[in-house]
A and B are shown apart, each in its own frame.
Chain A
Amino acid sequence: MRYGMVISLSRCIGCNSCSIACKHENGTGPGVFWRRVVITESGKYPQAAMHALPLLCNHCEDPSCAKVCPVKATQLDDNGMVTIDAKKCIGCRYCMTACPYNVRAYVKSNDKGYFDEGLTEYEKAVYGEHKVGTVEKCTFCAQRVEEGRDPACVATCPAKALFFGDLDDPASQVVKLLKDNPNAKTLKPEAGTKPKVFYI
């Protein structure tokens, strides 16, 4: 089993719904985004176009973050997910500098919220799950995947541009999509990380 994601750039409308869904699914605090959408343009008027590139942890087959982690806190799991063990992480952030995609986040606090007057009831309920001084990132919503549900970003995508599944299962939609799209790309292949997030 190797979980992976296929992102259809021809469907992504750059709305960042996934970025915000990720926030409440994973209860991340101010300034922390485990995923984001980069908005750019290309071409000259009037042949110009706008583009959107969703970025998240690529759950690489050869993850540079795991390679540089001095204490094996970041590891590639059997199911293909790259995970971080908060009990091991010493917070050196070597993995953050090693990640070619800049999709890791450092937990600087779990008691600072969005508002000056202290944490809201919502913030009190969710921020505590994050261990200060450790590094976090997209988990492919392992808590949802365990229940047989898609990651929050995939489920919420208004354009249905995101697809999640087992890259080892020939019947899975991600495998079919990759078969139909032999030109599927990964990000920064030159980094040698072998991402499992594909762009079509």
Chain B
Amino acid sequence: MSKDSLANKMSRRTFLKVSAATAAAVAAGNQLLGGNGVGVLEANAAPAAEGGWYPGVCKMCMQGDCQQRVHVVDGVVVKVEGDPQGRQNFGALCPRGNASIMQMYNPWRVKKPLKRTNPQKGLDVDPGFVEISWDEALQTVADRLKPIRESDPRKLVCVSGFGVRSALLANFEQAFGTPNDVPSRGSACAYHIAGHITHQRGPDGVPDLDRCNYFIDVGHTLGPNIANASPGTRNVLDAIERGCKIIDIDPRCSQEASKYAEWVPIRPGSELAFFLAMLHTMLYEIDKLDIWYLKARTNGPYLIDPEGEFVKDGSGKPLMWDEEADRAAPFDTPDYMNCALEGTFEVDGVTCHPAFQLVKDQMKEYTPEWSEQHTTISAATVRRIANDFVEHAQIGATVDIDGFTFPLRPVGIVSERGPYQHTNCGPMQDFVTKIICQMVGAIEVPGGMSGCSMPHPDWLKPDEEGIRIANYEAGADYYGYPWSWPPNLADLRQFYPVSHTLVWALPKTILEPEKYHMDYRVEALMSCGGGPVRSGFDREAFEKAWAAVPFHFVFALTYDENAVLADIVLPDSSFLEKDTFHGGSSAPPGHKVMVDSSRGLNVFLFRDASKITKPYDSRNMDEVLVDLADKLDIMTGPDGMAAKANNSLRNAPLDTGKKFTLREWSEASLKQTYGADKRLDAITDASGPVYFYSTRGKENYNYYYQPDNQTRTPIYYINLLRVANKFKENLEAAGLDAVPGWEGDMDYFFEAFTPIPKWMTCPEFNPPAEYDLWAINWKTPMAPFFCGDTFGNVWLHETMKKFDPYEFSIWINTATAEKKGIKDGDKVCVESRYGKAEGYVKVTELIHPEVLGFPSGHGAASSMANPITAEGPYFNALCNIDEKNRAVDPLTAGVESGPAVKIYKV
């Protein structure tokens, strides 16, 4: 991305510092209360800081951008609340944000730096920790890392997690020289690829909830189940009040889905069949498509040769077939509306078809009746939903925003974590949702689907073939992640070139580097946040691998599995007690939705935490990394950590000749993003955060930057074909028949690398007969994931235990329970081909009869954690990470999370 243009754009704008007076003006523009009309912002307006209130940003989850106010009395944090002026949360905090006090004041935290005395490592082995000083701890780490860096810096692998991930981690890694930054997150939510290729700069695909009238929500939450203080929750409720119809397609019904127009339960892993049939219905039965969009803005008219490649003219431009002129024409012809979407043509002796024709042909067999056997959703329902979707799309409608005329297509589909976490059919079904949206032109226009990142002129920018440049995980050059041989990275990204994250690869490359053709071994591990041992789908493999690494140091809030397996434990501060810098957002505040009020919103704040007394001897990880870099002699000089930090601080670089402070770095970041005249001193506790919008109104739609036929999105996914072809070449050049672990199964490996979606199944879809059910897992409002010490938080635990009978249980449908002789509250064992999980049953009507539901990520803890952490059934034990079982998706590297299971009483 081009950071400069974004920064310049911002600096041209006036800063908007919110006071009670301006808050009222903002409230007029917010849609919070729908028809009820009165702005919450106005009602709650209060000075940012008075008597012991300090600003902050909540870091209890991956979203991590809810504005918080912290009340401090005699050094003790006694209250937290959403900043009433914060326009992503309007004073709201989710249950986790509210429970953050118990994260900070928690005697189960690591209270002092620790050194292991027992050389034997294991989850059930007492590490024999002894307390040491910070100085000794950092010196020990530096002494161990120095020789490693001298021999091969790649031998250090840094594993990071949400919530506590340090802002400076990347700079430290760069200065150290290791490319091995492996996020522990993502194996269970690798759902970005189709969007990243098609239209969005993600990470998420989001509906335009200000205008959308019909939305299909698949295995996903629009807000209430994750980071629910951010705008999604309020805006989805506003949209429903406004009359937006939302259809929930999911094996289980949630609070959120209960407010939707309809819950349509589906068999896990069959979502692809549903969407193929929906697309079939649109193409063969309804036949009401946005022809203009398809011709002007997709690669639908591009002629495809028998090899699957574009037919091109001499200058390399892909060709379309101009039916008026009866000849091929380059994609950028002004007569694009004359170009054929259907037919068979011949160009220079090559028989070819428009991509649209090929897609349509492929869909022919996928009738609603065909899909019914796979999905358990009736053919009539498929037809009804397809019809409603097309009707609501209002093909041909336009809307004027700030004097600019946009197409208006108020429909959308988001298919996310639930359906995605299946090998091959997972990502494939999302490609179909993208095609469906394009058939009615609902991409990056008002009412339709967008990426959740701030809008930008680059996001839809076309390449020389006229098609929008894929980004992020999809790779910009059609080849995905650059190939290197022997593999450069310990997480095997070379073998999964368009993947999301691959922490599951680490145990394999640590334990068997030769098998994966590595020419070095992992000798040191640095963990900060995340919990791959518990969340990585193979507890034993991670335990073994972590124990096998010669030196492991962790930044730990509590005694999690990482800490128990470490050599040196560095107590990390709770975010409540840290100096807090927050500048802009990695993604805009609306992570799950786009609405005008939060789409282009930026915020900057700095909290000096000196007035907050730390309850334990912990330190801010950012500061510790600076100290560590200093001890390793990688702080100064042209390749030092300061210089690396300067790569993103070009407008206000740090002095590369000395160690920098967090305050200096924050100041530089402020100047870089918000203008060189800005001073950190001016952003005091009393002044509160600074807000401004980088885009508003028409600028919030990426269509605005490339209107009409100025760019195209793919309905024919040539990227996947090209990535696969290039990858096959690379494998061959390296003398490999197969990706390690996939020997003899490479046809399946490449099955989803197809330009046109087709029916395919995941390894759990046709299991041996004894596994007659499927287990699924989802995020819950109080416990969406591990980060922030969710499961060890006594307030969250108590609230879930007391008030949510659905939380610590295994859901089973009433009819299924009766058939199996299982009663509410019975203790059961659920067993997959890979593992077992025990728990207590909740008999409910809220789940598909073929499915067992496991809410949240309960049920695993280290031996030194608060025992409450271990309560509840442990879903991940039912999954695995073995390539031989097709357990990881070749495209996204997501882990198959819909295991076929059986259930019995114990």
Determine if B224 and A15 form an interchain contact, defined as CB atoms under 8 angstroms apart: yes
Binary A-proximity of B227-255 (CB < 8 A = 1, otherwise 0): 01100011001001100000000000111
Contact of B237 among A11, A51, A114, A124 (CB under 8 A): A11
Number of residue pairs A-B, CB distance < 8 angstroms: 192
Asked if A186 lies at the interface with its beta carbon under 8 angstroms from chain B, I say no
Contact of B93 among A38, A156, A159 (CB under 8 A): A156
Q: Which 7 A-B pairs have the closest CB atoms?
A: A15-B781, A48-B845, A120-B105, A49-B258, A20-B98, A122-B105, A13-B224
CA distance A177 to B79 in the complex (A): 30
> Which of chain A's residues 137-159 have a Cβ closer than 8 Å to chain B?
149-150, 152, 155-159
Determine if B228 and A15 form an interchain contact, defined as CB atoms under 8 angstroms apart: yes
Question: What are 29 pairs between A and B in contact, CB < 8 Å?
Answer: A10-B240, A11-B237, A13-B233, A14-B804, A15-B782, A16-B95, A17-B92, A17-B228, A17-B229, A21-B81, A24-B80, A33-B803, A38-B803, A41-B844, A45-B815, A45-B845, A46-B263, A46-B264, A48-B845, A49-B263, A50-B255, A121-B615, A155-B44, A155-B82, A156-B93, A157-B92, A158-B229, A159-B237, A160-B90
Q: Which residue of the partner chain A has the closest CB to B376?
A: A46
Determine if B255 and A13 form an interchain contact, defined as CB atoms under 8 angstroms apart: yes
Contact of A20 among B84, B105, B799 (CB under 8 A): B799
Asked if B794 lies at the interface with its beta carbon under 8 angstroms from chain A, I say yes
Binary A-proximity of B91-135 (CB < 8 A = 1, otherwise 0): 111110111011011111000000000000000000000000000
Asked if B256 lies at the interface with its beta carbon under 8 angstroms from chain A, I say yes
CA distance A52 to B259 in the complex (A): 11
Q: Which residue of the partner chain A has the closest CB to B89?
A: A158
Determine if A121 and B613 form an interchain contact, defined as CB atoms under 8 angstroms apart: yes
Asked if A30 lies at the interface with its beta carbon under 8 angstroms from chain B, I say yes
Contact of B77 among A37, A43, A122 (CB under 8 A): A122
The bracket for how many chain B residues form the interface is: 35 or more
Contact of A15 among B95, B615, B805 (CB under 8 A): B95
CA distance A183 to B46 in the complex (A): 34
Contact of B799 among A16, A157, A159 (CB under 8 A): A16
Asked if B846 lies at the interface with its beta carbon under 8 angstroms from chain A, I say yes
Asked if A173 lies at the interface with its beta carbon under 8 angstroms from chain B, I say yes
* Given A50-B255, A123-B105, A156-B81: A39 and B803 interface contact (C-beta under 8 Å): yes
Q: Which residue of the partner chain A has the closest CB to B35?
A: A180
Asked if B272 lies at the interface with its beta carbon under 8 angstroms from chain A, I say no
Asked if B759 lies at the interface with its beta carbon under 8 angstroms from chain A, I say no
Asked if B795 lies at the interface with its beta carbon under 8 angstroms from chain A, I say yes
Asked if A72 lies at the interface with its beta carbon under 8 angstroms from chain B, I say no
Asked if A117 lies at the interface with its beta carbon under 8 angstroms from chain B, I say yes
Asked if B43 lies at the interface with its beta carbon under 8 angstroms from chain A, I say yes
- CB contacts (< 8 Å) of B264 on chain A: these are 46
User: Could you tell me the distance in whole angstroms from the C-beta of A99 to the nearest C-beta in chain B?
Assistant: 18
- CB contacts (< 8 Å) of A41 on chain B: these are 844-846
* Given A19-B803, A121-B613: A24 and B78 interface contact (C-beta under 8 Å): yes
CA distance A13 to B221 in the complex (A): 12
CA distance A20 to B796 in the complex (A): 8
Asked if B813 lies at the interface with its beta carbon under 8 angstroms from chain A, I say yes
CA distance A156 to B90 in the complex (A): 8
Determine if B615 and A16 form an interchain contact, defined as CB atoms under 8 angstroms apart: no
Q: Which residue of the partner chain A has the closest CB to B80?
A: A24
Determine if B81 and A45 form an interchain contact, defined as CB atoms under 8 angstroms apart: no
- CB contacts (< 8 Å) of B289 on chain A: these are none
- CB contacts (< 8 Å) of B233 on chain A: these are 13, 158-159
Q: Which residues on A are within 8 Å of B, measured CB to CB?
A: 10-11, 13-17, 19-21, 23-25, 27, 30-31, 33, 36-39, 41, 43-46, 48-52, 114-115, 117, 120-126, 149-150, 152, 155-161, 173, 176-177, 180
Asked if B675 lies at the interface with its beta carbon under 8 angstroms from chain A, I say no
User: Could you tell me the distance in whole angstroms from the C-beta of A119 to the nearest C-beta in chain B?
Assistant: 9
User: Could you tell me the distance in whole angstroms from the C-beta of B473 to the nearest C-beta in chain A?
Assistant: 30
* Given A16-B782, A48-B846: A24 and B79 interface contact (C-beta under 8 Å): yes
- CB contacts (< 8 Å) of A30 on chain B: these are 794, 798
Binary A-proximity of B62-85 (CB < 8 A = 1, otherwise 0): 000000000001101111111010
Asked if B38 lies at the interface with its beta carbon under 8 angstroms from chain A, I say yes
User: Could you tell me the distance in whole angstroms from the C-beta of A148 to the nearest C-beta in chain B?
Assistant: 8
User: Could you tell me the distance in whole angstroms from the C-beta of B20 to the nearest C-beta in chain A?
Assistant: 11
CA distance A157 to B91 in the complex (A): 8
- CB contacts (< 8 Å) of A150 on chain B: these are 43-44
CA distance A181 to B329 in the complex (A): 61
Determine if A117 and B32 form an interchain contact, defined as CB atoms under 8 angstroms apart: no
Determine if B95 and A20 form an interchain contact, defined as CB atoms under 8 angstroms apart: yes
Q: Which residue of the partner chain B has the closest CB to A36?
A: B803
Asked if B291 lies at the interface with its beta carbon under 8 angstroms from chain A, I say no
Asked if B12 lies at the interface with its beta carbon under 8 angstroms from chain A, I say no
* Given A44-B845, A120-B107: A149 and B794 interface contact (C-beta under 8 Å): no
Determine if A155 and B228 form an interchain contact, defined as CB atoms under 8 angstroms apart: no
* Given A20-B99, A24-B79: A15 and B263 interface contact (C-beta under 8 Å): no
* Given A45-B815, A160-B32, A160-B40: A122 and B258 interface contact (C-beta under 8 Å): no
Asked if B171 lies at the interface with its beta carbon under 8 angstroms from chain A, I say no
- CB contacts (< 8 Å) of A16 on chain B: these are 95, 781-782, 799-800, 803-804
Determine if B91 and A155 form an interchain contact, defined as CB atoms under 8 angstroms apart: yes
Asked if B849 lies at the interface with its beta carbon under 8 angstroms from chain A, I say yes
* Given A15-B95, A45-B265, A177-B36: A125 and B253 interface contact (C-beta under 8 Å): no
Determine if B256 and A13 form an interchain contact, defined as CB atoms under 8 angstroms apart: yes
User: Could you tell me the distance in whole angstroms from the C-beta of A122 to the nearest C-beta in chain B?
Assistant: 4
A15-B224, A45-B265 are known; give 14 further A-B pairs, CB within 8 A.
A10-B237, A10-B241, A16-B782, A17-B229, A23-B795, A24-B78, A46-B263, A49-B258, A121-B76, A125-B73, A152-B81, A156-B92, A159-B234, A177-B36
User: Could you tell me the distance in whole angstroms from the C-beta of B380 to the nearest C-beta in chain A?
Assistant: 14
Determine if B107 and A50 form an interchain contact, defined as CB atoms under 8 angstroms apart: no
User: Could you tell me the distance in whole angstroms from the C-beta of A137 to the nearest C-beta in chain B?
Assistant: 17
CA distance A41 to B847 in the complex (A): 11
Determine if B802 and A122 form an interchain contact, defined as CB atoms under 8 angstroms apart: no
Determine if A50 and B254 form an interchain contact, defined as CB atoms under 8 angstroms apart: yes
Contact of A45 among B73, B94, B102, B814 (CB under 8 A): B814
CA distance A23 to B530 in the complex (A): 28
Asked if B806 lies at the interface with its beta carbon under 8 angstroms from chain A, I say yes
Asked if B137 lies at the interface with its beta carbon under 8 angstroms from chain A, I say no
Asked if B545 lies at the interface with its beta carbon under 8 angstroms from chain A, I say no
Contact of B804 among A25, A39, A44, A159 (CB under 8 A): A39
Contact of A122 among B78, B93, B814, B847 (CB under 8 A): B78
Determine if A33 and B253 form an interchain contact, defined as CB atoms under 8 angstroms apart: no
User: Could you tell me the distance in whole angstroms from the C-beta of B206 to the nearest C-beta in chain A?
Assistant: 17
Determine if A115 and B107 form an interchain contact, defined as CB atoms under 8 angstroms apart: yes
CA distance A38 to B805 in the complex (A): 9
Determine if A13 and B228 form an interchain contact, defined as CB atoms under 8 angstroms apart: yes
Contact of B98 among A14, A21, A44 (CB under 8 A): A21
* Given A17-B93, A20-B795: A159 and B105 interface contact (C-beta under 8 Å): no
Determine if A52 and B228 form an interchain contact, defined as CB atoms under 8 angstroms apart: no
Determine if A14 and B845 form an interchain contact, defined as CB atoms under 8 angstroms apart: no
CA distance A117 to B98 in the complex (A): 23
Q: Which residue of the partner chain A has the closest CB to B794?
A: A114
Q: Which residue of the partner chain A has the closest CB to B74?
A: A125
Asked if B609 lies at the interface with its beta carbon under 8 angstroms from chain A, I say no
- CB contacts (< 8 Å) of B613 on chain A: these are 121
- CB contacts (< 8 Å) of A44 on chain B: these are 845
* Given A122-B77, A149-B44, A159-B233: A50 and B253 interface contact (C-beta under 8 Å): yes
- CB contacts (< 8 Å) of A126 on chain B: these are 78
Q: Which residue of the partner chain A has the closest CB to B264?
A: A46
CA distance A161 to B92 in the complex (A): 11
> Which of chain B's residues 826-863 have a Cβ closer than 8 Å to chain A?
844-849
User: Could you tell me the distance in whole angstroms from the C-beta of A1 to the nearest C-beta in chain B?
Assistant: 17
Determine if A39 and B806 form an interchain contact, defined as CB atoms under 8 angstroms apart: yes
| Most chain B Cβ neighbours within 10 Å, of A16, A41, A117 | A16
- CB contacts (< 8 Å) of A24 on chain B: these are 78-80, 98, 101
- CB contacts (< 8 Å) of B847 on chain A: these are 45
